[in-house]
A and B are shown apart, each in its own frame.
Chain A
Amino acid sequence: MHIPDGFVSPQITIPAYAVCAPLWAWAVRRHFGHSSAESLPVVGSLTAVAFVIQTIMIPVPGGTSTHLVGVTLLALLYHPLVAFVCESLVLLIQALFFGAGGVTVLGVNALAMGLLGPLAGWLVFRTVGRLFEKGAAFLAAYVAMQISTLTVVLVLGIQHWLSEKYFPMPLAVTFTAMMLPSLTVAGVIEGLYTLFALSLLRKANLRGLAD
């Protein structure tokens, strides 16, 4: 789902960074305390949790594999803005060390996977969770995955519309190539993982985790 460097032009990446920068600053100020001693260890720890969760590979039929995301879980346990900051750092580390995603498109990936998706999932959970919590956890993660993927697809579609020569892949192709696996496989797996993890965390009633 990560957009690699070179797929999206500065017409999109620069405004994305312009949107992300104040959101990062606001999120850090609001959720991570005012002193380095308070904020840095928490940001580092949660980023590390999100990163490690994303290294867990899930085998899927066909001999390939997908990986967990876990950012919706962070949003449900803490807050969507916390998930946004941590996921942005994860994306930066992945871009620098693994070539997954990119540095120039970090803002776009961060908005899609770190903010819009988890925010949608968080809203779904808060709405539906009053009725049935377990189902809400699954639905929240599933919806979050689809919103993130759809955002990436739309960004690529806009890039194609802005310049077919820069990004020659039409929306129909990117939509099918990305949404189909997301709807049928990745979303279901992420939903199940969030359901299992949240249930276990609630049962264990671990200290330090938001209710």
Chain B
Amino acid sequence: MLVFRHGLIGTLRRVLFSVVPVTAALSVASWAWLRFLSGQAPEPAPFLALGLRACLIAFSTFAVLARVNLFHAVAPWPTLTRLLVVTLAQIHALRLLATESRLGLRSRLLRKPGVLDVVRGAGGITGALFTLSARNAQDVSDAMRSRGF
């Protein structure tokens, strides 16, 4: 934590929301189940160790990523770099489409969208996602070929 003290609060918050809920919920459920079975409270040490281990690895991952430019890190492997660029660019493009679709669904309903509404809407937007992704893939492929790849 001393090494990664810059941005510490933000990183800890990310760990808190991403890792702690699942770990804590399973730990509490397991502790209660074992206590129910044996009648005695189980040792908390293994549960704490698991939680600490999960949080530490997540913290390290987030802290390192916050300080590392991923594109520079994978630069020695050009194929990986290109894959990362293409994938992230496509994610950005498709997320815009998905977000607009979600907003459109909410604007068309007088009530908050229910489960079936969202699932049906997602089924519909899937066609658009595949169409756009196929077109983008063809464009990128043509661009790569024109540059000699």
Q: Which residues of A contact B (CB under 8 A)?
A: 4-7, 35-38, 40-49, 51-53, 55-60, 68, 70, 73, 77, 89, 93, 95-100, 102-104, 164-170, 172-174, 177, 189, 192-193, 195-197, 199-201, 204, 206-209
- Is B136 a contact of A41 with CB atoms below 8 Å? yes
B141 at the interface (CB under 8 A from A): yes
Would you call B6 an interface residue if the criterion is a C-beta within 8 Å of the partner chain's C-beta atoms?
no
Asked whether any CB of chain A lies closer than 8 Å to the CB of B8, the reply is: no
Contact B65 A96 (CB under 8 A): yes
A30 to B139, CA, bound (A): 22
Nearest Cβ on chain A to B121's Cβ, whole angstroms: 9
> CA–CA, A197 to B127, complex, Å?
7
CA separation between A7 and B104, bound complex, in Å? 40
Residue interface bits B123-149, CB-to-A below 8 A is 1, else 0: 110110111011011111100110001
Least CB separation from B97: chain A residue = A52
Contact A40 B26 (CB under 8 A): no
Given A197-B126, A200-B127, check contact A58 B86 (CB 8 Å): no
- Sample of 6 A–B contacts (CB below 8 Å): A36-B144, A44-B90, A89-B83, A97-B65, A99-B19, A201-B127
Chain B's interface: helix, strand, loop or mixed, by majority? helix
The chain A residue with its CB closest to the CB of B116 is A192
The answer to whether B46 and A165 have CB atoms under 8 Å apart is: yes
A-B residue pairs, 9 tightest by C-beta: A196-B123, A99-B18, A44-B86, A48-B90, A6-B54, A6-B53, A168-B46, A45-B133, A5-B57
- B91 partner residues in chain A, CB cutoff 8 A: 47-48, 51-52, 93
In the assembled complex, the Cα of A202 lies from the Cα of B90 at a distance in Å of: 24
Residue of B nearest to A9 (CB): B53
The residues of B that contact A95 with a CB separation of less than 8 Å are: 61
- Residues 88-141 of B at the A interface (beta carbon under 8 Å): 89-91, 93-95, 97-98, 102, 112-116, 118-120, 122-124, 126-127, 129-131, 133-134, 136-141
User: How many of chain B's residues have a CB under 8 angstroms from any CB in A?
Assistant: 70
**Central interface residue in B25, B65, B122, B138, by most chain A CB within 10 Å:** B122
B127 touches A49 (CB 8 A): no
Which residues of the other chain, A, contact B34 by a CB distance below 8 angstroms?
170
**Do B33 and A40 touch across chains, with their CB atoms under 8 A apart?**
no
- CB pair B18–A42 under 8 Å, yes or no, is no
Contact of A209 among B65, B70, B97, B130 (CB under 8 A): B130
Q: Which residues of B sit under 8 angstroms from A195, Cβ to Cβ?
A: 123
Closest residue of A by beta carbon distance from B148: A37
Q: In the complex, what residues of A have CB within 8 A of residue B22's CB?
A: 4
Task: Tell me how far the C-beta of B104 lies from the nearest C-beta in chain A, rounded to whole angstroms.
Answer: 14
Q: Return the chain A residue nearest B131 by Cβ.
A: A206
A173 touches B33 (CB 8 A): yes
Partner among A37, A165, A172 whose Cβ is within 8 Å of the Cβ of B149: A37
Q: Are A59 and B25 in contact (CB under 8 A)?
A: no
Choose from A47, A100, A199, A206 the contact partner of B90 (Cβ within 8 Å). Answer: A47
